[in-house]
Amino acid sequence: MPRPLKVDDDTLRTLEQRLAKAKNDLARARAAQEEQARRLDARRKIIAGAIALEHLEKNAGSEWGKIYFRLLDEKVLPKDRHLFGFLPVREAPPASQAETPGTDQPDKLDAAE
């Protein structure tokens, strides 16, 4: 038969400290798991994008190449267009028309769909 647990202030304090440590360890482990998932997702997108860009470079005149170019041309934001040297330069909207962060207004490029 297990002996009864001695419950005094020191025992409660020790148990509370162990519980707090366990909660911190759990939160840290969950954060690490989420960070790993985010890194893997970014890596997946980088690899897929590299393959797609390489295919576009080799097969620009194909139906797929034309569709991919059109999608990039429509979806890439003006501030990021310099990353794709083959895309035509687009003017950024004036500051008065620029979308403010946190609003649900669609991007100008999305409205063209």
Domain-located, residue 43:
yes
- Residue 74 placed within a domain: yes
* Residue 89, pLDDT score: 83
Tokens of 55: 């295919």
Return the residue matching tokens 């687009």: 90
CA 30 to chain centre: 17
Structural domains in the chain (count): 1
- Between the CA of residue 29 and those of 18, 19, 36, 75, what are the distances in Å? 16, 15, 10, 36
Which pLDDT belongs to residue 102? 52
Q: What's at 17, amino acid-wise? A: Q
Residue-level pLDDT at 100:
52
* Overall residue count recorded for the chain in this entry: 113
Quick check: is 101 in a domain? no
Residue 39 and residue 37: Cα distance in Å, rounded? 5
Write the CB contacts of 36 (distance below 8 Å, at least 6 apart in sequence). Answer: none
pLDDT score, position 51: 96
Residue 14 lies in a domain: yes
Q: Does residue 3 form part of some domain?
A: no
Cα torsion 61, 88, 113, 55: sign: positive
pLDDT in tens, the chain (113 residues): 677 766 889 989 999 999 999 999 999 999 999 999 999 999 999 999 999 999 999 998 999 999 999 999 999 999 999 999 999 887 766 666 555 555 444 444 444 44
> Residue 67's domain spans which residues?
9-87
Task: Please indicate, yes or no, if residue 31 is contained in any of the structural domains.
Answer: yes
Q: Is 110 part of a structural domain of the chain?
A: no
Question: Is position 4 within any domain?
Answer: no
